[in-house]
């Protein structure tokens, strides 16, 4: 039976951000030390799994979201945060396919850059990437 490895997908998405060398630190989930700013905070969410049976083989489709929040100091200006958010969005163009074991991840829509907001001494710009993982 086909299965989707969420840890593998998370690792592939994080590696794409890391390899891009955007000049910011990645803040990984479940790591106690929060890196300095600027940084990218990463959340990878799986939604409702859909399974289909076709000619005796099972295909599993799972919509997902990658939320990358750009975190900068308030004093460095909005433009820097927005420039970094644009760079993150450019890494995940609609239609991009990334290989996973037994299938692929596809970016299903253009990334959405949300409005920036202040959070104490930080400025945050969320970037949401819609994905679908498919295992055959």
- Give tens-digit pLDDT for 76-132: 766 788 999 999 999 999 999 999 999 999 999 999 999 999 988 899 999 999 999
For residue 23, the SS3 value is: coil
Judge residue 48's burial from the number of C-beta atoms within 10 Å of its C-beta, 0-12 exposed, 13-18 middle, 19 or more buried: exposed
Q: What is the pTM of this model?
A: 0.89
Residue 90's SS3 state is helix
Question: What residue has token string 């692929």?
Answer: 104
| 125 within 8 A of 82, measured Cβ to Cβ | yes
CATH of domain 6-93+100-128: 3.30.2000.20
Tell me the domain boundaries of the chain: 6-93+100-128
Q: Let me know if 124 is exposed, middle or buried by CB neighbors in 10 A (0-12, 13-18, 19+).
A: middle
Residue 86 preceded by cis peptide, ω within 30: no
- 131: number of Cβ within 10 Å: 23
pLDDT level of residue 69 (50, 70, 90 thresholds):
very high
Residue 48 has pLDDT above 80, yes or no: no
């Amino acid at each position: 039976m086909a299965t989707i490895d969420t840890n593998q997908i998370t690792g592939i998405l994080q590696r794409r951000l890391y390899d891009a060398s955007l000049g910011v630190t990645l803040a990984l989930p479940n790591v106690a030390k929060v890196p300095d700013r600027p940084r990218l905070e990463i959340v990878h969410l799986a939604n409702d799994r859909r399974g289909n049976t076709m000619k005796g083989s099972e295909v599993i489709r799972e919509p997902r979201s990658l939320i990358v929040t750009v975190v900068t100091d308030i004093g460095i200006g909005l433009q820097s945060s927005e420039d970094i958010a644009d760079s993150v969005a450019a890494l995940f163009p609609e239609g991009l396919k990334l290989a996973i074991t037994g299938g692929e991840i596809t970016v299903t829509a253009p990334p959405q850059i949300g409005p920036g907001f202040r959070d104490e001494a930080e400025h945050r710009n969320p970037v949401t990437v819609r994905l679908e993982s498919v295992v055959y």
